[in-house]
Chains A and B, each alone.
Chain A
Amino acid sequence: MTMLREIYQYREMVFSLIKRDLRGRYKGSALGFLWTFLNPLFQLLVYSFVFGTVMGAAYPKYYLYLFVALIPWLFFSTSLVGGAGCIYAQKDMVNKIYFPREVLPLVHVTCQLINMLLSFVVLFAVIVVTRHGVNFLALCYLPIIMLVEYMLALGFTLIVSAVTVFLRDVQYVLNIVVMAWQFLSPVMYGLDRIPQRLQGIFLWNPMAPVLLAYRDILYEKKIPDLSTLTMACVMGIVLLAVGLVVFEKLKKHFSEEL
């Protein structure tokens, strides 16, 4: 509890580091902030060309089917891969100044969240242009599922960023793990492609219910399954709690290791 109060006390640090990250990112590049939109757009083009046109589309409007899950997935994966090194990268600061260490992963994950929200602008533009239409009642569930994903991403990032301080390999191992994880998650395909008997195990992947919920809301235009939603919520809360506890345990020794 004291930890949460302290993070609140340092809220201005969180805000200004987020601002610094977002503003500093594309400084000096010709297209600047536009890259935030161009990146997901190009990814969409590549993915839908390969998996829609080349491999043959399994779903109607495959680009959209893919897009609504790909953007949330990119939020999660960049949180983890980039977040692993977020404490190590700031070792000068960690070694010299006191501040609640949770701030660093928090800032990183929040930046990725903001990026996702900006990508959603592109997503909604695509939805409008293709006349896909939206279900406004279902859209009400979008903030909930974003919050759940945010908790998941934060929980995992807390763990990997703390462990990376002691074991630098984690950073590189994560690259491989995240790639495998993407193919094991319903990003490019749906639950219908998984054999019935494996579906139980498949859904143990904390990202699976989250991605399915995004697709329900935006692609199927329906309110997500209550069971899917509950499962996602529980996993989000549990992981965040585990992340905070692990981080709290490890953070006292950061400075000695760095």
Chain B
Amino acid sequence: MRDDVSIEVKNVSKSFRVFVDRGNTLKERVLFSKRRKYEHRQVLKDISFTVRRGEAIGLIGHNGCGKSTTLKLLTKIIYPDSGSIQIKGRVSSLIELGAGFHPDMSGRENIYINAAIFGLTRKEIDERLEDIIAFSELEDFIDNPVRTYSSGMYMRLAFSVAINVDAEVLLIDEILAVGDANFQIKCFNKLKEIKASGTTIVIVSHSLAQIEQICERSIWIHEGLVRMEGKPWEVHPAYLDYMGKKRQAIAEKDAMRAAAGRDKPRQKGDPSLQQVDEENLKRWGNGKARIVDAWLLNEEGKPQKLFETGKDILLRMKYQVKEPVEDAVFGIGFFQEHGVRCYGTNTRLDGLADFTLTKDGAVEVLLKEVPLLPGLYTVDLTIELADGIPVDYYREVMKIEFFSQDRAIGIAQIKHKWRLDENVEGYEARKGEDAASGKDGQDERV
């Protein structure tokens, strides 16, 4: 295994025996051995992927696709039928929170038990104890028995232990439903911090947004195989698209069944509606409506591609409707090179009601004082349904470039002020300069 690889999964397959009528007692085993029918269900057929050290990946897929099985294999709770899994370093999992908690023992004692189950030694737990207690925000209750805790407090304590294990590899299954909104944000930030410190993270989640926020890569597992792998914003639209079509197929089948009663031949949809620009994976959607043109306009209403940082930009897009779309949502996104998302929003997030599109039209959005720092950016435009299914998800529709006097680095300009106190050498001299330029010891930059 290469040095910078943290997890290597090679040609792994796994099948389970699924019992039709399962018995685990002697009587059932002996007397009804024929009745104990089972079938082999191949959950994973041939999965291979590697995760580099410090990388965060998300496993996505519909229910029963094998993503949770993959996570269990990584945890070494179950073992593959064939193929190999290699993991470097200590593994911690946010799968079962609060393992081994004893209700009659205090929070502090339970921290020791729970952390020990993750394989920490006493010394390691001692070192982390303060952090764990502080993170859980349970300082005042830490010596009370856990049975007196509310379920939220219980989960907070459990999560604090799991996340402070400092493992090299962190496996997460459907998390961040812990505690109140504040604590969730805290957990999320902690996860980002852990990631920044070089921990490898594997997340299984139905929340694509969470994966997009943390992971560099998504792996879409479909019927026991890796169907697609890549940047989350490349994989997720394709996945949503697939799910949307699947749902549509089910809906059509239902409609057909309903229609069959009336014996009416159903009109086949126009095949052109399904067209997607698949050649470069930059466009997805069911095609009921299409973005046909888009412009970036300056304050005078003139189209241009180059803007000064901090100026208003008017974005206008024209769309064509081929079939009426209900609950449509318009979205925009700005990306830096290498796919770093700088900003993204949509009409739904902004609290605008979902639209019904029946005929061609245009949408405008006025972007005020766009603070993006100099450089080249790309713009995504989307029409989606309220549940995230893409109608027309158009990546990199156009490029936009910014220029500015500001030589700061990063993505966005943050308005700021420096204040120096008189102990800083050169303060007097600066003060003189500032006086000359009409300022008062403060450098203000907008």
Residues of A within 8 A of B (CB): 9-13, 15-17, 19-20, 23-24, 27-28, 92-99, 166-169, 173, 252, 255-257
Q: Is B227 in contact with chain A by the CB < 8 A criterion?
A: no
Whether B77 pairs with A255 at a CB distance below 8 angstroms is yes
Whether A93 pairs with B91 at a CB distance below 8 angstroms is no
A12 touches which of B75, B79, B95, B120 (Cβ 8 Å): B120
Whether B77 pairs with A95 at a CB distance below 8 angstroms is yes
List 18 contacting pairs A-B, 8 Å CB cutoff, sorted by A.
A9-B121, A12-B116, A12-B120, A12-B125, A19-B113, A94-B77, A96-B93, A97-B77, A97-B93, A97-B99, A97-B118, A98-B77, A166-B24, A168-B25, A173-B26, A252-B78, A252-B79, A255-B78
A255/B72 contact (C-beta < 8 A), A97-B77, A97-B93 known: yes
A231–chain B nearest beta-carbon distance, Å? 33
Whether A13 pairs with B117 at a CB distance below 8 angstroms is yes
Find chain A residues with CB under 8 A from B99 CB.
Answer: 92-93, 96-97
Find chain A residues with CB under 8 A from B120 CB.
Answer: 12
Q: A17 vs B117: C-alpha distance in the bound complex, in angstroms? A: 9
Find chain B residues with CB under 8 A from A256 CB.
Answer: 16-17, 78
Q: Is B76 in contact with chain A by the CB < 8 A criterion?
A: yes
A98/B105 contact (C-beta < 8 A), A10-B116, A12-B125, A167-B29 known: no
A13/B91 contact (C-beta < 8 A), A96-B99, A168-B25 known: no
B25 touches which of A27, A96, A169 (Cβ 8 Å): A169
Whether A20 pairs with B105 at a CB distance below 8 angstroms is yes
Q: Mark contacts of B99-116 with chain A using CB atoms, 8 A cut-off: 1 yes-contact digit, 0 otherwise.
A: 110101100010011011
Which of chain A's residues has its CB closest to B113's CB? A16
Find chain B residues with CB under 8 A from A92 CB.
Answer: 96, 99
Find chain B residues with CB under 8 A from A94 CB.
Answer: 77
Find chain B residues with CB under 8 A from A96 CB.
Answer: 77, 93, 95-96, 99
Whether A20 pairs with B100 at a CB distance below 8 angstroms is yes
Q: A166 vs B17: C-alpha distance in the bound complex, in angstroms? A: 14
Q: A9 vs B118: C-alpha distance in the bound complex, in angstroms? A: 10
Whether A13 pairs with B119 at a CB distance below 8 angstroms is yes
Whether B26 pairs with A167 at a CB distance below 8 angstroms is yes
Q: A27 vs B133: C-alpha distance in the bound complex, in angstroms? A: 25
Q: A97 vs B118: C-alpha distance in the bound complex, in angstroms? A: 8
Find chain B residues with CB under 8 A from A27 CB.
Answer: 104
Find chain B residues with CB under 8 A from A167 CB.
Answer: 24-26, 29
Q: Is B318 in contact with chain A by the CB < 8 A criterion?
A: no
A97 touches which of B24, B25, B95 (Cβ 8 Å): B95
In this complex, the member of B77, B91, B125 whose beta carbon has the largest number of chain A beta carbons within 10 angstroms is B77
A13 touches which of B25, B27, B116 (Cβ 8 Å): B116
Whether A98 pairs with B25 at a CB distance below 8 angstroms is no
B19–chain A nearest beta-carbon distance, Å? 11
Q: A127 vs B414: C-alpha distance in the bound complex, in angstroms? A: 83
B22–chain A nearest beta-carbon distance, Å? 10
Q: Is B122 in contact with chain A by the CB < 8 A criterion?
A: yes
Which of chain B's residues has its CB closest to A252's CB? B79
Find chain A residues with CB under 8 A from B96 CB.
Answer: 92-93, 95-97
Q: Mark contacts of B375-419 with chain A using CB atoms, 8 A cut-off: 1 yes-contact digit, 0 otherwise.
A: 000000000000000000000000000000000000000000000
A93/B117 contact (C-beta < 8 A), A16-B112, A24-B105, A98-B77 known: yes
Which 5 residue pairs are nearest across A and B when measured between Cβ atoms? A96-B96, A169-B26, A12-B116, A13-B116, A16-B116
Find chain B residues with CB under 8 A from A99 CB.
Answer: 117-119
Find chain B residues with CB under 8 A from A13 CB.
Answer: 116-117, 119
Which of chain B's residues has its CB closest to A9's CB? B119
Find chain A residues with CB under 8 A from B16 CB.
Answer: 256
A24 touches which of B95, B104, B116 (Cβ 8 Å): B104
B79–chain A nearest beta-carbon distance, Å? 5
Q: A151 vs B27: C-alpha distance in the bound complex, in angstroms? A: 32
Find chain B residues with CB under 8 A from A9 CB.
Answer: 119, 121
Q: A92 vs B24: C-alpha distance in the bound complex, in angstroms? A: 18
A86–chain B nearest beta-carbon distance, Å? 13
Which of chain A's residues has its CB closest to B74's CB? A98
B103-147 contacts to A, CB under 8 A, are: 104-105, 109, 112-113, 115-122, 125
A153–chain B nearest beta-carbon distance, Å? 23
A11/B78 contact (C-beta < 8 A), A92-B96, A256-B16 known: no
Whether B24 pairs with A168 at a CB distance below 8 angstroms is yes
Q: A173 vs B25: C-alpha distance in the bound complex, in angstroms? A: 11
A175–chain B nearest beta-carbon distance, Å? 14
A28/B25 contact (C-beta < 8 A), A92-B99, A99-B119 known: no
A17/B24 contact (C-beta < 8 A), A10-B119, A11-B121 known: no
In this complex, the member of A15, A19, A98, A169 whose beta carbon has the largest number of chain B beta carbons within 10 angstroms is A98
Whether A98 pairs with B93 at a CB distance below 8 angstroms is yes
- Told that A17-B116, A173-B26 touch, could you supply 17 new A-B pairs with CB distance under 8 A? A10-B119, A15-B116, A16-B100, A16-B113, A20-B105, A20-B113, A24-B105, A93-B96, A96-B93, A96-B95, A98-B77, A98-B93, A167-B24, A167-B25, A168-B24, A255-B72, A256-B16
A75–chain B nearest beta-carbon distance, Å? 24
Q: A173 vs B77: C-alpha distance in the bound complex, in angstroms? A: 29
Find chain A residues with CB under 8 A from B27 CB.
Answer: 169
A22–chain B nearest beta-carbon distance, Å? 11
Q: Mark contacts of B77-98 with chain A using CB atoms, 8 A cut-off: 1 yes-contact digit, 0 otherwise.
A: 1110000000000010101100
B101–chain A nearest beta-carbon distance, Å? 9
Which of chain A's residues has its CB closest to B119's CB? A10
Q: A255 vs B69: C-alpha distance in the bound complex, in angstroms? A: 11
Q: Mark contacts of B44-82 with chain A using CB atoms, 8 A cut-off: 1 yes-contact digit, 0 otherwise.
A: 000000000000000000000000000010011111000
B75 touches which of A24, A28, A98, A166 (Cβ 8 Å): A98
Find chain A residues with CB under 8 A from B26 CB.
Answer: 167, 169, 173
B98–chain A nearest beta-carbon distance, Å? 10
